[in-house]
């Protein structure tokens, strides 16, 4: 089995993406998770470029890694300077990272027009920088920046830059599609020519890597093409974060290498951590996860069409290219106005709702779902509310509380922002509870008042926290009278669940979703007690 090395640059190249930021402490947490997932190299940043990167390397000195090596990233020495004189080279050494990834220019356009350098001096900069760092006891990887564009413009010179790196002593040449504009056919041809060039020159123990960007939506395809052409190392970021359109997404590349190409790159146990790793880094970056992301996205194994669901109930291979559990994901069946009886049966079993033996109940549920979705509900994003509706339609729903009334007061004066106060009256076990609470807004006040009313009887309600709140206007033609859809995502220690409300009144819609989230949480707690 051929081996592939995984090189993660989320903490450096990934941070160059818009709205992506990790503190040094965040980077330490991410590095630990990457190591636990079996990544071979973790690039921590450019120590000569900013204090945050330097701080990370200071903390990383005392960390023990089971699988990964920490790499510091930087440029070759500046033209006209020696390595001893170059502050960036010295910063790389001072980072104490065991691996140094150094990049140099492969494209004569950059050498002559951007850097205003000579081709000869550029080759000397590459060779001398690598040799100098190797002599200080570091493993040195060479990133050939703009290699594919450089090869297309001047193949002889592009290969000479690689040759200079090998003469400097590196054992790893990483070919970079820095502008992200190359096509897979070009990657294949040029990569093979570079590999053949060094085979002819008989360089022992030399390996090649690939580093691609996604400007033509080809980063993953180009990386896999390069592996097929013979490279060993694949560089990328988790979730494809990176400058402009992003880097090659390791959450897609890793399962392709392991499951589709049979490469020795990650254990099956670590592969199962992939979805959680993706979500963890997404949450740390405070960037919503992309549901349609292959392999790890929420929708990657979601089925909505009735024909599809009927088929996967017989054999999941009919509409799934791998088992979702292999990458830590799970199969989801979505119930919507496009659903058939197969969707309802599957979903009822998944949610623990007993449909009994009455064959008509599935038809009744489908009809009710279609009516509600015609009104504005969308249950593919609100499985908590869906379960409650199915329980109501099958006479299994037992409410833990019932609303009698609520009142929300919002005040605003010139001295301070809006102030919200809610008073709520509910009935629990034939007893009336009246409570009031303040909040940062009307929904927050309602949440606090309901939580306050229920806590004495259901103390575990405090384990539940709202993690997302979305409001969507269903049809803007009616202006401020338009119907709105409110989606609330909540979580406790073990579960994440979504609920929905729809109304022309945003407070009413919010209450529907909020009340469902509490009813669902309490039903989960009852189910756990029964076990």
Does residue 95 register a pLDDT over 60?
yes
Give the C-alpha separation, 163 to 431, whole Å.
83
Sheet containing 402-413: give its strands across. 402-413, 416-428, 431-439
Structure tokens of 43?
């690039």
pLDDT of res. 419: 83
pLDDT of res. 360: 77
Q: How confident is the model at residue 302 (pLDDT cuts 50, 70, 90)?
A: confident
Does residue 531 register a pLDDT over 90?
no
Q: Is 477 helix (H, G, I), strand (E, B) or coil?
A: helix
pLDDT of res. 58: 93
pLDDT of res. 381: 73
pLDDT of res. 426: 94
Buried (b) or exposed (e) across 506-526, using 16+ Cβ within 10 A? bbebbbbbbbbbbbbbbbbbe
Q: How confident is the model at residue 437 (pLDDT cuts 50, 70, 90)?
A: very high
Burial class (CB in 10 A: 0-12, 13-18, 19+), 126: buried
pLDDT of res. 361: 83
Instruction: Give 470's contacts (C-beta < 8 A, 6+ positions apart).
Output: 486, 487, 488
Give the C-alpha separation, 273 to 37, whole Å.
6
Q: How confident is the model at residue 148 (pLDDT cuts 50, 70, 90)?
A: very high
pLDDT of res. 248: 98
Give the C-alpha separation, 86 to 129, whole Å.
10
| Range with the poorest average pLDDT among 45-54, 107-116, 221-230 | 45-54
Instruction: Give 175's contacts (C-beta < 8 A, 6+ positions apart).
Output: 144, 147, 148, 190, 191, 194, 208, 209, 210, 211, 226, 231
| Range with the poorest average pLDDT among 352-361, 444-453, 458-467, 514-523 | 352-361
**pTM of the prediction?**
0.76
Q: How confident is the model at residue 312 (pLDDT cuts 50, 70, 90)?
A: confident
Does residue 509 register a pLDDT over 70?
yes
Q: What phi and psi, each to the nearest 5 degrees, are found at residue 484?
A: -120, 150
From the CB of residue 529, how many other CB atoms can be counted at a distance below 10 Å?
A: 8
Structure tokens of 377?
């509900």
Q: How confident is the model at residue 251 (pLDDT cuts 50, 70, 90)?
A: very high
pLDDT of res. 527: 67
**Following DSSP, what letter does each residue of 348-408 receive, concatenated?**
HHHHT---TT-THHHHHHHHHHHHHHHHT--GGG-HHHHHHHHHHHTT----S-EEEEEEE
Summarize the confidence of residues 248-260 as an average pLDDT.
98
| Range with the poorest average pLDDT among 44-58, 354-368, 456-470, 500-514 | 354-368
Summarize the confidence of residues 316-321 as an average pLDDT.
92
DSSP state of 61: T
Give the C-alpha separation, 249 to 211, whole Å.
11
DSSP state of 452: H
**Per-residue model confidence as pLDDT tens digits over 257-289:** 999 999 999 999 999 999 999 989 988 898 888
Please tell me the CATH code under which domain 5-266 is placed: 3.20.20.70
Structure tokens of 210?
């690939």
Q: What phi and psi, each to the nearest 5 degrees, are found at residue 498?
A: -120, 145
pLDDT of res. 482: 81
Instruction: Say if domain 402-530 classifies as CATH 3.30.160.270.
Output: yes
Contact 471, 486 (CB under 8 A): yes
Report the relative pairing of strands 484-491 and 465-473 from DSSP bridges.
antiparallel
**Per-residue model confidence as pLDDT tens digits over 55-78:** 999 999 989 999 999 999 999 999
Structure tokens of 173?
């040449």
pLDDT of res. 338: 56
Q: Is 173 helix (H, G, I), strand (E, B) or coil?
A: strand
**Per-residue model confidence as pLDDT tens digits over 178-202:** 999 999 999 999 999 999 999 887 7
Q: How confident is the model at residue 340 (pLDDT cuts 50, 70, 90)?
A: low
| Range with the poorest average pLDDT among 1-5, 239-243, 337-341, 470-474 | 337-341
pLDDT of res. 362: 81
Query: What's the mean per-residue pLDDT of the chain?
Result: 91
> In the chain, which segments carry CATH 3.30.160.270?
402-530
Rg of the chain over Cα atoms, rounded to whole angstroms, equals: 28
Q: Which of 202-206, 221-225, 380-384 has the highest average model confidence (pLDDT)? A: 221-225
pLDDT of res. 52: 82
> In the chain, which segments carry CATH 3.20.20.70?
5-266
Calculated CA dihedral for residues 30, 495, 365, 527, nearest 10 degrees: 160
């Amino acid at each position: 089995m051929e081996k592939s090395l995984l090189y993660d640059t989320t903490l450096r190249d990934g941070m160059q993406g818009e709205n992506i930021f990790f503190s040094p402490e965040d980077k330490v947490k991410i590095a630990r998770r990457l190591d636990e997932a079996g990544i071979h190299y973790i690039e921590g940043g450019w120590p000569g470029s900013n204090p945050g990167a330097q701080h990370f390397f200071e903390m990383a000195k005392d960390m023990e890694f089971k699988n990964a090596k920490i790499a510091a990233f930087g440029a070759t020495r500046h033209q006209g300077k020696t390595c001893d004189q170059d502050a960036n080279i010295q910063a790389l050494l001072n980072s104490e990272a065991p691996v140094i990834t150094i990049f140099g220019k492969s494209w004569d356009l950059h050498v002559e027009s951007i850097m205003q350098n000579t081709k000869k001096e550029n080759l000397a900069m590459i060779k001398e920088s690598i040799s100098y760092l190797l002599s200080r006891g570091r493993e040195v990887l060479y990133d050939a920046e703009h290699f594919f564009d450089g090869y297309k413009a001047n193949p002889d010179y592009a290969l000479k830059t690689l040759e200079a790196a090998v003469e400097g002593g590196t054992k790893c040449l990483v070919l970079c599609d820095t502008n992200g504009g190359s096509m897979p056919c070009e990657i294949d041809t040029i990569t093979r020519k570079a590999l053949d060039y060094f085979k002819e020159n008989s360089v022992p123990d030399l390996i090649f890597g690939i580093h691609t960007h996604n400007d033509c939506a080809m980063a993953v395809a180009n990386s896999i093409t390069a592996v097929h052409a013979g490279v060993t190392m694949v560089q990328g970021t988790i979730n494809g974060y990176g400058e402009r359109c992003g880097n090659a997404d390791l959450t897609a590349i890793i399962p392709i290498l392991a499951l589709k190409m049979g490469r020795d790159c990650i254990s099956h146990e670590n592969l199962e951590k992939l979805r959680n790793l993706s979500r963890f880094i997404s949450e740390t970056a405070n960037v919503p996860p992309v549901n349609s992301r292959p392999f790890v996205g929420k929708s990657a194994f979601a089925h909505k069409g009735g024909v599809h669901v009927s088929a996967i109930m017989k054999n999941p291979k009919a509409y799934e290219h791998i088992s979702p559990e292999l990458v830590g994901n799970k199969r989801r069946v979505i119930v919507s106005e496009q659903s058939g009886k197969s969707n309802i049966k599957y979903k009822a079993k998944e949610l623990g709702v007993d449909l009994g033996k009455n064959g008509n109940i599935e038809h009744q549920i489908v009809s009710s779902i279609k009516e509600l979705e015609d009104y504005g509900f969308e249950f593919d994003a609100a499985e908590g509310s869906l379960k409650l509706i199915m329980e109501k339609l099958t006479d299994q729903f037992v409410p833990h509380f019932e609303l009698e009334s609520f009142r929300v007061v919002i005040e605003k004066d010139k001295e301070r922002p809006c102030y919200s106060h809610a008073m709520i009256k509910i009935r629990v076990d034939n007893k009336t509870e009246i409570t009031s609470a303040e909040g940062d807004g009307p929904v927050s006040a309602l949440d606090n008042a309901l939580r306050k009313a229920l806590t004495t009887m259901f103390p575990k309600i405090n384990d539940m926290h709202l993690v997302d709140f979305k409001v969507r206007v269903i049809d803007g033609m009616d202006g401020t009278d338009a119907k709105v859809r409110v989606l609330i995502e909540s979580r406790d220690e073990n579960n994440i669940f979504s609920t929905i409300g729809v109304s022309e009144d945003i407070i009413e819609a919010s209450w529907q979703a909020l009340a469902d989230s509490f009813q669902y949480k309490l039903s989960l707690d009852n189910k756990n007690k029964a076990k």
